[in-house]
Amino acid sequence: MKNSDRPLILISNDDGISAKGLSVLVEAMRPLGDLLVVAPNSPQSGMGHAITIHSPLKIHPSSIFEGVEAYESSGTPADCVKLAKYYILKGRVPDLVVSGINHGSNTSISILYSGTMSAAIEGAIEGMPAIGFSLCDYGNNADFSHTIPYVTAIAKQVLQTGLPRGTALNVNFPRKQEDAIKGIKICRQAKARWKEEFDERTDPYGRKYLWLAGSFENPDKGEDTDEWAIANNYVSVVPCLFDLTAHHAIATLNDEWQILQETAPRVVKEHYDNF
């Protein structure tokens, strides 16, 4: 990719290079800079932050977006960001990484499973400002049009002011309704979870198989969460870190584990001396 004075924006997703949400994101980014698309060649929803280490990675140029350099890869969303930075760009660092627009919600606990957000978080790991965009609508004919001005505005803001290092934004949009979106809320991730169930079925050969099902449970009634924002027709923006350290627990564990920490070397030595 040739260097220019315009910002370089790396675009990826988890729904695959032919997904409607990706084409909407590309169009929303066109006014803001030079674009590079590196996306999976097939859907990768729910892959989380998986990377490909036990099979070859394949990557091929694509002409799917007119006037935009694009590649499709056999890898995961995180793979795509790595491939872009270290293989395709060969030293030029993107000014912004954007991922999505995901076809479905990535609020609350879903961020841990989301391939969309993993592409964004991989960007943050690599020191680049990054945003993951998702639309809370799983319908086959989901309308993304109302997201476009917000996507462009949020990306433009990040290009202008940056983000704290190591931070990625998790942006979710309510589905399109008769009422216009009320605005943007900077939120925390709701303390909610999926209650999994496994639907047992039988294939035509009489063999049993399982299909993951379940329901979403949200006991968090706070009005500062992403779930509240979406339910009240706001765009939710949650700043996220890849550091999973429970910093508040360090002092507690140091206090409660003091004896174990002091005696562990002796206990381990005695264990091996007995063999």
- List, as one string, the DSSP characters of 131-142: EEEEEE---TT-
Identify the CA nearest to 79 among candidates 96, 56, 100, 102: 56
Write the CATH number of the domain with boundaries 8-191+221-244: 3.40.1210.10
Helices (H), the chain: 20-29, 77-83, 115-125, 148-161, 226-231, 247-256, 258-273
Q: Which residue has the higher pLDDT, 225 or 178?
A: 225
Q: How confident is the model at residue 268 (pLDDT cuts 50, 70, 90)?
A: low
Ordered by start, the domain boundaries in the chain are 8-191+221-244, 248-275
Q: How confident is the model at residue 1 (pLDDT cuts 50, 70, 90)?
A: low
Instruction: Say which residues have a Cβ less than 8 Å from residue 50's Cβ, sequence separation at least 6.
Output: 76, 78, 115, 118
Specify the range with the lowest mean pLDDT, choosing from 158-172, 177-191, 214-228, 236-250. 214-228
Around 39, how many Cα atoms within 13 Å sit in the side-chain half-sphere?
Answer: 35
Helix, coil or strand: residue 205: coil
Give the single-character DSSP code of 188. Answer: B
* Amino acid at position 128, single letter: M
pLDDT, tens only, 149-195: 999 999 999 999 999 999 999 999 999 998 999 999 999 999 888 88
